[in-house]
Every structure is written in structure tokens, then in C-alpha cells.
């Protein structure tokens, strides 16, 4: 069975500080890992993905994520948070051969001016 855990419902960070949004996963095969962002009253937007290769993945808007196989984690990071980064962030996983994504429950990021 596939599952994704986002242990923090809410993350608050001061503008200009680094941010981390945590994600761990459990799959029975090789994972495809994704981060999506959702702004109020909008659909989800793709941020970045890990399929294979370099464990550090860079994505949109200055975000990056590190794939850690031994810890089964895929934490989202950004060196310097902006107020405009405030949104709901979802981690998702798919395994090879599967047709759909499994999503975590989401983490609400608030960047405080």
C-alpha cells in the first residue's frame, strides 16, 4: 500500500527565514514524488518532482526538495521565505506502473511579514 504523511498541519515562518515542509512516504516500489501548492480558491499547481537521479530537486519559485531514501522522506525547502509563499502544500507519491497519485493531508504554510 502507498501512503504519504505530512506530520505538520501548520508551519509558520518569518519572512526571509528558511522554510521546511516535511513529507515522508511509504511505498512498495520505486517512488515518484511530487510537491504541489494550492492558493486560496485555486486548483493545485505543480512545484517539483523526483523521479530518479540527483537527490536534490529544484523546482518553481525557488523551492527545492531532497529525496532521502533511507529516511523515506522528501522535504520541501526554500532558503528565504516570501509572504507570497503562504499557501497549502501537498506532497504526493506514485509508484511505477500505478496510474494515480496518493496525496498527503497538506501543510498550511504561513509566512509572517
For binding to other proteins (CB under 8 A), which residues are involved? 9, 32, 34, 36, 41-46, 49, 51, 90, 94, 99-101, 103-106
The least distance separating other proteins from the CB of residue 38, rounded to whole angstroms, comes to: 9
**Half-sphere exposure at residue 69, Cβ-oriented, CA atoms within 13 angstroms:** 11
Buried-state track 30-69, b at ≥16 Cβ within 10 A, e below 16 = ebbbbbbbeeeeeebeebbbbeeeeeebebeeebbbbbee
Whether the Cβ atoms of residue 72 and residue 24 lie closer than 8 Å to each other: yes
Specify the residue, 48 or 81, whose C-beta has the smaller distance to other proteins: 48
81 vs 90, beta carbon nearer other proteins: 90
Nearer to other proteins, 15 or 88 (CB): 88
Minimum CB–partner distance for residue 45 and other proteins (Å):
7
Amino acid at each position: 500500500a502507498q501512503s504519504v504523511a505530512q506530520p505538520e498541519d501548520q508551519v509558520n515562518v518569518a519572512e526571509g527565514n528558511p522554510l521546511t515542509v516535511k513529507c515522508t512516504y511509504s511505498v512498495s516500489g520505486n517512488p515518484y514524488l511530487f510537491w504541489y501548492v494550492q492558493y486560496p480558491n485555486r486548483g493545485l499547481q505543480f512545484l517539483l518532482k523526483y523521479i530518479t537521479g540527483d537527490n536534490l530537486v529544484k523546482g518553481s519559485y525557488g523551492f527545492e526538495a531532497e529525496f532521502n531514501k533511507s529516511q523515506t522522506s522528501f522535504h520541501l525547502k526554500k532558503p528565504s521565505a516570501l509572504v507570497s509563499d503562504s499557501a497549502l502544500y501537498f506532497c504526493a507519491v506514485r509508484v511505477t506502473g500505478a496510474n494515480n497519485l496518493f496525496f498527503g493531508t497538506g501543510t498550511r504554510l504561513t509566512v509572517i511579514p
